[in-house]
A and B are shown apart, each in its own frame.
Chain A
Amino acid sequence: MNKNKEFLSGTLNTIILALLKEHGKMYGYEICSSAKEKTNNAIILTEGAIYPALHKLEKKGIIESSKQLINGRTRKYYEIRKAHLDTVDEKVQTLYDFTTLIQALLKPSL
C-alpha cells in the first residue's frame, strides 16, 4: 500500500482520468473507493493527494465540475471535458504500454 506511493505520484492524474473515463461523472470519495475496490485495497489513492490533483486537472481545463446537494451537503462531481476525451485515451494507453514495458524489463530479475 504505502510502498506503492512513490510510483503513484507520477501516474495519479492518469489513474484519475482513466476512472473518470470509465464511470463518467464521479465525486472524490467515489474515485478513492473505486480505486480501492479495483485493486483489492492494494492501491489507496489518499484523499490528501486526490483533491488537489482534481483541482489542478480542472484548472488545466481537462475536467469540469458540477455541484449537487446531497443529504444537506454539497457534493462536487467531476467529468472529463468532451474536447479532451481523445487525449485522455492516449494518456491512458501510454501509461498502459509503459507498465507493460516495465514488466518486461523487471521480469528476468524476479
Chain B
Amino acid sequence: MKWIYNILRISGLKNQELLEEYFDHYTSEYEYLLEQGDSEELAHSKVVDAISKLDVKTINFEYFKLKHKNKLIMSSTFTFLFAAVIFVFGNFDEPPSIAPVEMSGHSITSGYGERMHPTEKVKKLHRGIDIRGKLGTTVMATSSGIVKDAGYDKLNGYFVEIQHDAIYTTRYHHLSKIDVQKDDQVKKGEKIGEIGSSGLSTAPHLHYEVLEKGKNVDPALFLKV
C-alpha cells in the first residue's frame, strides 16, 4: 500500500513518527473496507477522501508546540510567536526552483498566456511555456516529489505530472521518452524523460507547466537559469 504512504507524505505531515502511525491507520482502514466488501477502487477513493480531510497544518502545529514545550515555557512568548510564524509560513516546502532542461543553448519559444495556437489557429490560453530543444535532451524534475501521473494522450503526447507538496504540481509534455512511472519518488534535478514532439506538436520542444493549488501559473517565475 505504498500509495497510502505517498499520499500522506505529500500531504505535508512533517513528523516521521506520526507519518508511520497514520500510514498504519489508513492501511488498517483500507483493509477493513475491503473486508466489508468494498471494491478496491471504492476503498481507495474513501481512504484518499479521508486523508484529504486531515487537517495537516493543525496537526503539524500541535506537534511543533509539543516538541518545543519545555523550551517555550522558559523563553518568552515573543520568541514563540516568531518561531510559530516561521513554522507556518515555512510550510511551502519545495516550490519548483530549477529549469526543467539545461537552459544554455535552449530558448523559450512560447511564453505563458494567451496566444494563437500554432496548429489549431485559434486564440487559446497557453498554460505553460515551450522550451525548444533537440530530440532526446534530458528533462529534469524541477523539485522533489512524487509522480502523480505519467503516460500518453493524443494532445500532450508522452507526459509526466509531478506533485511536489501540498501546493505545487508540475507537468512536462510532448516527451519522446519517459523514465518514471506513476507513484515513483523523484528528486530535484532527476531525469524524468527526454524532449520530443509527441502529441499535438510541430517540432521537438518541452511544454512545461507549473500549478499552484491546481491553478496554472507562469512557469517563468520559477526558472532560475
- Which candidate, B58-66, B107-115, B122-130, B189-197, is the interface stretch facing chain A? B58-66
In the complex, the answer to whether B25 meets A47 with C-beta atoms within 8 Å is yes
In the complex, the answer to whether A73 meets B27 with C-beta atoms within 8 Å is yes
Contact A73/B23 with A29-B28, A48-B55, A48-B59 known, Cβ cut-off 8 Å? yes
Q: How far is the CB of B62 from chain A (nearest CB, A)?
A: 4
CA distance in complex: A67, B71 (Å): 28
CA distance in complex: A52, B59 (Å): 7
Total A-B Cβ pairs within 8 A = 47
Whether B54 is near chain A, meaning CB under 8 Å from some CB there, is: yes
Interface of A: prevailing SS: helix
Whether B149 is near chain A, meaning CB under 8 Å from some CB there, is: no
In the complex, the answer to whether A51 meets B24 with C-beta atoms within 8 Å is no
In the complex, the answer to whether B66 meets A29 with C-beta atoms within 8 Å is no
Contacts of A52 in B (CB 8 A): 59, 62-63, 66
In the complex, the answer to whether A73 meets B55 with C-beta atoms within 8 Å is no
CA distance in complex: A27, B32 (Å): 15
CA distance in complex: A28, B59 (Å): 15
Whether B85 is near chain A, meaning CB under 8 Å from some CB there, is: no
In the complex, the answer to whether A55 meets B66 with C-beta atoms within 8 Å is yes
Contacts of A74 in B (CB 8 A): 20, 24
Contacts of A51 in B (CB 8 A): 18, 21-22, 25, 59
Contacts of B69 in A (CB 8 A): 59
The size of the chain B interface, using a CB distance under 8 A, is 22
Contacts of A56 in B (CB 8 A): 66
Whether B93 is near chain A, meaning CB under 8 Å from some CB there, is: no
CB contacts under 8 Å to B, within A39-92, are 47-48, 51-52, 55-56, 59, 70-71, 73-76
CA distance in complex: A83, B59 (Å): 29
CA distance in complex: A46, B54 (Å): 9
Closest 3 CB pairs of A and B: A29-B28, A52-B62, A29-B25
A-B contact pairs, 20 of them (CB 8 A): A28-B21, A28-B24, A29-B24, A29-B25, A29-B28, A33-B32, A47-B50, A51-B18, A51-B25, A51-B59, A52-B59, A52-B63, A55-B63, A55-B66, A59-B69, A70-B24, A73-B20, A73-B23, A73-B24, A76-B17
